C-alpha cells in the first residue's frame, strides 16, 4: 500500500511510519517541520517538507506518488495554546484538514485515517467513555478535531470517502528510534521523567479526588500500540463502505497520577520530586476510554499496556537521545 502520512515527523506520526515500513508499505511523509523533527523520519520513508494547507502540493503528491491511503497526523495539539489562539487551530486543524480532503477528492484518493482525540468529548458524564458519549469539546483543539470529523462524514456521504477517526486519550512510551520531544512538553510521563532526572519538581494538580489515592486517573496507551491501530484502520478502509467509522483507543482501566510517579521511580531508581497543587478547573476525577469497539472493529488490543512498559521505553529513549 502506498501511504501518505501527514505529520510523519512528529511523535505519533514517526512511530506510525516505522510500523508502516516494517509492514512492507511504501511511505511518503508530508511535514512542515514546525513542530516535527527531520531526524525522526526513518530511512525508507520519503520526506516532503510542506503543509497540508498547500492544496497544489498535496494534490500533486497524491497524484504523482499514486497514493492509495492517507494517515492524517498533522495537527496543532496543545490545549492551552488553542484557547489562547483559536484562529491558529481553526486554520491549521480544520481549514488544513478540509484542504487535504479536497486534494484527496481531486486526486481520486478515497481512504483516510484521522489521528483524533478524546478531547472531542469534553468532560464526559460517564466513564469508561464509549463512542456513543456526547461530544461537547471545551477547547478549540477538541472543537477543530470534531469539526473535521463532521466534514469527513459528509465527504463520505457525498463523495465516497472511506474514513476512520481514532479518538485516543494519552499516548506514552517510545520506539527505539522515536519518542516524545515536544516544546513545550505538556504530557505527564515525560514531565515525570524530567523531574526525576534532575528537573524542577512536578506539580500534582489535585490530591482529593474520589479515587483510590486521591489523584486523578487517566488512560494511557503505548505509542506503538497506537501505531498498530493506525495500520489496522488503514487496512479497514480498503473494504469498508463509504462513510466514517469512529473508534476510541485506550487501556479500558487507567492509572492515577501518583501511580505514574511511583512507577517512574521504580524504572529510574530515583525519587521524583513533587509539589502538591489544587485541582485544575474542568479536570474530571477519572477519564478512561472503552476499547470494546476497537476490539470489534479493528481486532485491536493493547500489547504494551503496563505502566512499566510505557515508562521504561520512554526512559530508555530519553537516556539515548539526551
Catalytic site residues? 141
148 vs 96: CA distance, rounded Å = 10
Give phi and psi for 308, each to the nearest 5: -60, -40
How far apart are alpha carbons 136 and 123 in whole angstroms?
7
Q: DSSP label at 104?
A: H
Return the C-alpha cell found at 317.
Answer: 529513549
What is the residue-wise DSSP string for 196-264? HTTSSPEEEE-S-SSSTTSS-EE-EEEHHHHHHHHHHHHHHTTTSPSEEEEEEES-SS-EEHHHHHHHH
Q: How many CB atoms lie within 10 A of CB 134?
A: 11
Q: Kindly report the number of other CB atoms within 10 A of residue 34's CB atom.
A: 11
Convert 164-183 to b/e letters by CB count within 10 Å (16 or more is b): bbbbbbbbbbbbebbbbbee
Burial 143-160 (b: 16+ CB within 10 A, else e): bbbbbbbebbbebbeeee
- Asked whether 293 and 214 are in contact (CB, 8 A), the reply is no
Amino acid at each position: 500500500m502506498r501511504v501518505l502520512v501527514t505529520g510523519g515527523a512528529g511523535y505519533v506520526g514517526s512511530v506510525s511510519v516505522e510500523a508502516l515500513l516494517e509492514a512492507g508499505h511504501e511511505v511518503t511523509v508530508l511535514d512542515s517541520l514546525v513542530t516535527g523533527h527531520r531526524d525522526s523520519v526513518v530511512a525508507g520513508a520519503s520526506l516532503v517538507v510542506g503543509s497540508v494547507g498547500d492544496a497544489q502540493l498535496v494534490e500533486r503528491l497524491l497524484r504523482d506518488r499514486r497514493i492509495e491511503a492517507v494517515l492524517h497526523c498533522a495537527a496543532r495539539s496543545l490545549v492551552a495554546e488553542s484557547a489562547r489562539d483559536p484562529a491558529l487551530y481553526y486554520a491549521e486543524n480544520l481549514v488544513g484538514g478540509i484542504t487535504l480532503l479536497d486534494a484527496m477528492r481531486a486526486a481520486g484518493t478515497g481512504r483516510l485515517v484521522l489521528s483524533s482525540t478524546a478531547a472531542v468529548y469534553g468532560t464526559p458524564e460517564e466513564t469508561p467513555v464509549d463512542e456513543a458519549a456526547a461530544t461537547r469539546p471545551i477547547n478549540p483543539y477538541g472543537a477543530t478535531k470534531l469539526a473535521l470529523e463532521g466534514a469527513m462524514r459528509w465527504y463520505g456521504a457525498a463523495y465516497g470517502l472511506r474514513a476512520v477517526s481514532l479518538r485516543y486519550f494519552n499516548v506514552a512510551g517510545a520506539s527505539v528510534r522515536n519518542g516524545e520531544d515536544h516544546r513545550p512538553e505538556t504530557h505527564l510521563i515525560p514531565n515525570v521523567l524530567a523531574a526525576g532526572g534532575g528537573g524542577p519538581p512536578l506539580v500534582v494538580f489535585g490530591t482529593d479526588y474520589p479515587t483510590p489515592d486521591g489523584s486523578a486517573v487517566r488512560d494511557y496507551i503505548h505509542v506503538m500500540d497506537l501505531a498498530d491501530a493506525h495500520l489496522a484502520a488503514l487496512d479497514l478502509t480498503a473494504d469498508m463502505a463509504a462513510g466514517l467509522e469512529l473508534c476510541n483507543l485506550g487501556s479500558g482501566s487507567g492509572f492515577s497520577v501518583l501511580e505514574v510517579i511511583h512507577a517512574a521511580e521504580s524504572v529510574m531508581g530515583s525519587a521524583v520530586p513533587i509539589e502538591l497543587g489544587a485541582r485544575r478547573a474542568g479536570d474530571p476525577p477519572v477519564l478512561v476510554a472503552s476499547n470494546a469497539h476497537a476490539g470489534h472493529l479493528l481486532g485491536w488490543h493493547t500489547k504494551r499496556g503496563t505502566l512499566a512498559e510505557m515508562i521504561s521505553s520512554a526512559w530508555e529513549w530519553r537516556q539515548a537521545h539526551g
